[in-house]
Structure 1
Amino acid sequence: MEETLRASVKEALISLGAGEVDFAIEWPATLANGDFATNAALASAKVLGRSPRDIADELASMLKDSLGELVSTVEAAGPGFVNITLARAVVTKQIASAADGGANWGLGTANAGQRIMVEYGNPNPFKEMHIGHLMGAVIGESISRLIEASGATVLRDTFGGDVGPQVAKALWALRLDGVTEPASAQEIGKAYMQGSNAYEESEEAKAEIDALNVRIYDVVGKQDDPAGLSEEDRALLHLWQRGREVSMEEFNRIFGLLGTRFDYTFFDSDTTKPGLEAVASAVEKGILEESEGAIVYKGEKKGLHTLVFVTSRGTPTYETKDLGLAYLKEMRAETDSVIIITAVEQIGHFNVVLAALEDIAPVLGKKTSHLAHGLLQLTTGKMSSRKGNVITASELIQELLTVTAARNADPLVAEQVAIGALKYMILRAAPGSNVAFDPEKSLSLEGDSGPYLQYALVRAKSVIAQSEMKPDTSDAPEAAFELERLLMRYPETVRRAEAFRAPHTVVQYLTQLAGEWNSFYANERIRGGEYEGYKLALAAAFVTTMENGLTLLGIPVPEKM
């Protein structure tokens, strides 16, 4: 409908002599002002040399004629806006589409035929997943679902650092304590903290961990042919393999709770070789250069800063691994674009890495983009897994589950509510914004929470189930309910959320929709009342819209609460 309105406004402006003017079609601030509004009169006033209100009056008349039976009213308002209210038949048709559309209601085609790889989550083995990783996992999954809703095929991947300083710190401490078979992610996480603290506090430990880091690279590089390794190195390789396995089992358990699955899991150890090959080629071409024994990319030529790709000790940095990952993704799957989702802290890193990638492999560089999310914070400040005051993802989820289990006897419902509470609080923030997580507020049923949306949905399902009449859109009252006008906005809300990579747009819409449904439920007699069939159709449209919206956010859809 928005495209139809835009075409009519454009045609009217052309006839007025202002066809080149840019204008907006938007939703009025309040539902009482109609379904759409345009600022075309305000935008064209200077070109036409007329007052915006005079233009708005004329434009309203022209649009009323051109849109005909599609609209009930077109009126000039304020200093020069034009408010448009759709005809009852148009509204009813949209409600029928929502009520009967099922999972297809709200889907678009903007990215039809595209293959898009989305990287997110990215917890590092040998450290426990902390709550900061929940941001990437939750936001990345929702963005992936929004892209799928636009018609694209999405390939999900996650990337973890299984070699590097953090691994050396954890293995150093495990070896020091005589551990050969780590049994849990918690045990490995404590070892990482022990090794990290020793690294900063003891020069001897620092030297040992640095040497172990180089050795791990060498041993892991020979894992496909371990026959030439010494007995000690084979033991080190086994400890590394077991540690990674235990870490990934825990990560996958948490991802499963969050409703996330990955098509590809990449590790640093996979990317080191192709990354170093890309670095060597880039040095030959003069894109990267040697500096004080290291290999660097001097980003100053693009207004950026210098980053090291290989240290003076000969070990590859995260930058080299990111280069290798870009090549590895290209080898594993054909894609039209690649999106990397990480915290805002890595904006500077990826600005330089993607600039270098575009110089080294222009095709890969041009189709790869970075999307940053904010940080999940506690009142005590930023978390640090090195200092040991980190709140892990598992601990936070368990805290929420303890509360929801006390309120819901069904363990499945308790889990659905807990995960819904967590995801809502993360996804309601605008892209790049930090989140201050409040467990108590997240579980409230009073509004602005995941459980609030879930409960509104369960209530609507109950109304339909308890009624003996079937939903019927032929029984529509003359005037549309405000709930109807809000329901019609869902497909465009999804389109905008995908276009701007902004799940919070859907969160805000669903919260408003739940409030409007609750008001409708409180003020209208649905079962046994006037227009019962149509009101049930509205309930069905609400259920479809809320279910589909929650699914896009990755928030579970409970059958009861």
Structure 2
Amino acid sequence: MTALADLHAAVRSAASAVADGAEGAAPDKASLERPKQADHGDFATNAAMVLTKALKRPPRDIAADLAQRLQDDLGDHVERVDIAGPGFLNVVLADAWFTAALAGVLAAGDGFGAGGADPVRDVNVEFVSANPTGPLHVGHTRNAAYGDALARILELRGHRVSREYYVNDYGTQVVKFGESVQARARGEEVPQDGYQGDYVAEIAAEIPGAADADPSELALAAVELMRSRAEASLRRFGVEMDTWFSERSLHEPAGDARVEAAFARLEEQGRTFRQDGALWLRTTEFGDDKDRVLERSTGEHTYFASDVAYYLDKLDRGFDLLIDVWGADHHGYMGRIHAVVDAFGGRREDFELLIMQFVQLRNGDDLTAMSKRRGTLVTLDDLVDAIGVDAARWYLLARSHDTQVELDLAAAREQSRENPVYYVQYAHARIASVLRDQGEERVAAALAAVGTLDGVALHASERDLVKAVLDFPAVVAEAEERRAPHRIATYATELAQQFSAFYRDCSVKNAEPEELRSFRIALCVAAKATLARSLGLLGVSAPQEM
């Protein structure tokens, strides 16, 4: 447990003791929060308020008992406990609590903020999954940044995570792509509804004999080249997929074995019916707005048929939780996919569909629109070339996934405190510089002494930086629960701001006595590690110098 968790436990323990088993008392509901005003103490609790009804006593009287109990239990780690307003308690902690808290952070090492998942689950996160008929564009890039950051957060919490990309390498769009590549190889215009971008000609030039190749074989070769390019682009962006799942594999060997197996299982369960020669799935039984066709009267499988087989395969692989990250244009598919998972016996709480919102790029007054078929798009690689991996990932993650992002390329390139990713990275580099100035031996000595510094008198900025560092585990837990990597970006900015205040107010080099200097060195080590871990969860680098 962290120092904050211990403090919260002490508050609940005091509330339980004061409640003394009273019927209806709920001491576990006692909160512990950071007051908005600094003069209201380090932490505040509503413990007296939650006991008022059960104890049938004035809340200020209960607060007085709680204050005494907390002072007795916390001993020299608490300076005082004040009663405020109708019965809130403001806890002012002693410097000894802060030094002990810092020692706990450093003792935890890489384990600080890690673990806590209950239960630990095998999680499949499917994201990006763009059609392999064109380069990954900036919308896919946001999806990649989000899915990978979410996976990193889940892993830090202790879950076992598999990253998956579903390759749509089967169907009409693949045929049209192959036809477009062949047309370019022959120096002809692409067919109507074909693919227009320059990348089509590039693919045609990379495939020997494309002009005269068998259309089906050419289409597969072209799609595999695009998939390979997507993999390289994602790797450049810091994303490594564990599984590249081929839609075509669901329809091979000949006879659509895996698709037919999915149909057979649904038929056994009475989930399908025939009408006008077509095979339908009763998705309305699971809340969809209408039933869906699996197989047309001609015997041709619909795109939905692949989805059915794919989700059966996912469920059969034994994951405890499936998380799919989809683009904004897929919102209308949610009902039918939830119905598929329900039909195969999956639980709603074990399957999540997260919808990303759109990205607009702005460079001055120019807003960039995208169309894969027309070839007018900004690719992942274009974005990385323009602003770098770090800025791209930060700006695409800094807002909640369900809100639209407008990314200003000029602002993202700016090297000033107005650019948040630069500001946070600069704070990390500055801490690294401070520690280099102290030398490895002095830093090691400070870390060895941190548990014995009880008598050190601390500045308010030191106390605030310790509290900011201590927030990290709770922020990670919240980011996991809310599926909200943007909370990590917000936290990293706030931590950098707290370090800047510390750097302004508290000299490390000239600190006296030596015990205070040791504390400040140790605090720099903890702040640096926590900033680096936060940036790492976002897939952003933590530079040692800038």
Shorter-chain TM band = 0.7 to 0.9
Match of 2:511 among 515, 529, 538: 529
Look up the match of 1:264: 243
CA distance in structure 1 between the aligned counterparts of 2:21 and 2:337, rounded to whole angstroms: 50
- The 1:53/1:308 distance shift into structure 2, 3 A limit, reads farther
Pair 1:491-2:476 in alignment:
no
Look up the match of 1:557: 542
Pair 1:139-2:146 in alignment:
yes
Look up the match of 1:94: 101
Pair 1:427-2:434 in alignment:
no
In the TM superposition, residue 475 of structure 1 has moved relative to its aligned partner by 4.6
Q: How does 1:189-338 map to 2 (within 5 A)?
A: 195=194, 235-272=214-251, 273=256, 274-306=258-290, 307-330=292-315, 333-338=317-322
CA distance in structure 1 between the aligned counterparts of 2:190 and 2:78, rounded to whole angstroms: 68
Look up the match of 1:225: none
In the TM superposition, residue 293 of structure 1 has moved relative to its aligned partner by 4.5
Look up the match of 1:504: 486
CA distance in structure 2 between the aligned counterparts of 1:65 and 1:44, rounded to whole angstroms: 20
For residues 459-489 of structure 1, what are the alpha-carbon distances to aligned partners after superposition, in whole Å with 9 as ceiling and x for unaligned? Answer: 1001100114323424563235311121111
Match of 2:380 among 382, 393, 414: 393
- The 1:267/1:65 distance shift into structure 2, 3 A limit, reads same
- The 1:65/1:532 distance shift into structure 2, 3 A limit, reads closer
CA distance in structure 2 between the aligned counterparts of 1:179 and 1:283, rounded to whole angstroms: 47
- The 1:435/1:65 distance shift into structure 2, 3 A limit, reads same
CA distance in structure 1 between the aligned counterparts of 2:76 and 2:300, rounded to whole angstroms: 70
Pair 1:129-2:99 in alignment:
no
Three-state SS of the structure 1 residue aligned to 2:81 is strand
CA distance in structure 2 between the aligned counterparts of 1:102 and 1:129, rounded to whole angstroms: 38
For residues 416-471 of structure 1, what are the alpha-carbon distances to aligned partners after superposition, in whole Å with 9 as ceiling and x for unaligned? Answer: xx212111112221242221111222234314522221111011001100114323
Three-state SS of the structure 2 residue aligned to 1:248 is helix
Q: Is the 8 A contact 1:298 1:305 kept in 2?
A: no
In the TM superposition, residue 106 of structure 1 has moved relative to its aligned partner by 1.6
CA distance in structure 2 between the aligned counterparts of 1:310 and 1:133, rounded to whole angstroms: 30
Q: Which amino acid aligns with 1:467?
A: Q
Look up the match of 1:15: 20
Match of 1:116 among 118, 123, 128: 123
Which stretch has the larger CA shift, 92-101 or 240-249? 92-101
CA distance in structure 1 between the aligned counterparts of 2:190 and 2:12, rounded to whole angstroms: 64
In the TM superposition, residue 133 of structure 1 has moved relative to its aligned partner by 0.8
CA distance in structure 2 between the aligned counterparts of 1:466 and 1:112, rounded to whole angstroms: 44
- The 1:280/1:555 distance shift into structure 2, 3 A limit, reads same
CA distance in structure 1 between the aligned counterparts of 2:196 and 2:224, rounded to whole angstroms: 24
Q: Is the 8 A contact 1:98 1:545 kept in 2?
A: no
Look up the match of 1:354: 338
CA distance in structure 2 between the aligned counterparts of 1:70 and 1:327, rounded to whole angstroms: 56
Q: Is the 8 A contact 1:193 1:387 kept in 2?
A: no
In the TM superposition, residue 14 of structure 1 has moved relative to its aligned partner by 2.9
Which stretch has the larger CA shift, 444-453 or 52-61? 52-61
Match of 1:4 among 9, 13, 29: 9
User: Percent of aligned positions with the same letter in both sequences?
Assistant: 27
Look up the match of 2:202: none
Q: Which amino acid aligns with 2:12?
A: A
Number of residue pairs aligned between Structure 1 and Structure 2: 502
For residues 491-516 of structure 1, what are the alpha-carbon distances to aligned partners after superposition, in whole Å with 9 as ceiling and x for unaligned? Answer: 22212222222111211111001011
Look up the match of 2:203: none
Q: Which amino acid aligns with 1:543?
A: K
CA distance in structure 2 between the aligned counterparts of 1:456 and 1:304, rounded to whole angstroms: 50
Three-state SS of the structure 2 residue aligned to 1:249 is helix
Look up the match of 2:352: 369
Three-state SS of the structure 1 residue aligned to 2:436 is helix
Q: Is the 8 A contact 1:111 1:147 kept in 2?
A: no
Q: Is the 8 A contact 2:183 2:190 kept in 1?
A: no
Pair 1:452-2:423 in alignment:
yes
In the TM superposition, residue 102 of structure 1 has moved relative to its aligned partner by 3.9
Match of 1:440 among 410, 413, 418: 410
Q: Which amino acid aligns with 1:29?
A: K
Listed as ranges, the gaps of 5+ residues in structure 2 are 198-210
CA distance in structure 2 between the aligned counterparts of 1:298 and 1:343, rounded to whole angstroms: 26
Q: Which amino acid aligns with 1:478?
A: A
Look up the match of 2:207: none
Q: Is the 8 A contact 1:101 1:544 kept in 2?
A: no
CA distance in structure 2 between the aligned counterparts of 1:298 and 1:292, rounded to whole angstroms: 15
Q: Which amino acid aligns with 2:495?
A: L
Q: Is the 8 A contact 1:550 1:557 kept in 2?
A: yes
In the TM superposition, residue 103 of structure 1 has moved relative to its aligned partner by 2.7
- The 1:481/1:7 distance shift into structure 2, 3 A limit, reads closer
CA distance in structure 1 between the aligned counterparts of 2:484 and 2:73, rounded to whole angstroms: 34
Three-state SS of the structure 1 residue aligned to 2:169 is coil
Look up the match of 1:544: 529
Q: Is the 8 A contact 1:36 1:85 kept in 2?
A: yes
- The 1:69/1:327 distance shift into structure 2, 3 A limit, reads farther
Q: Is the 8 A contact 2:389 2:540 kept in 1?
A: yes
CA distance in structure 1 between the aligned counterparts of 2:113 and 2:531, rounded to whole angstroms: 11
For residues 37-75 of structure 1, what are the alpha-carbon distances to aligned partners after superposition, in whole Å with 9 as ceiling and x for unaligned? Answer: 323344444555555555444433333334444533333
CA distance in structure 1 between the aligned counterparts of 2:91 and 2:277, rounded to whole angstroms: 68
Look up the match of 1:75: 82
Listed as ranges, the gaps of 5+ residues in structure 1 are 181-186, 199-231, 401-417
Three-state SS of the structure 1 residue aligned to 2:194 is helix
In the TM superposition, residue 375 of structure 1 has moved relative to its aligned partner by 2.4
Look up the match of 2:36: 29
Look up the match of 1:215: none
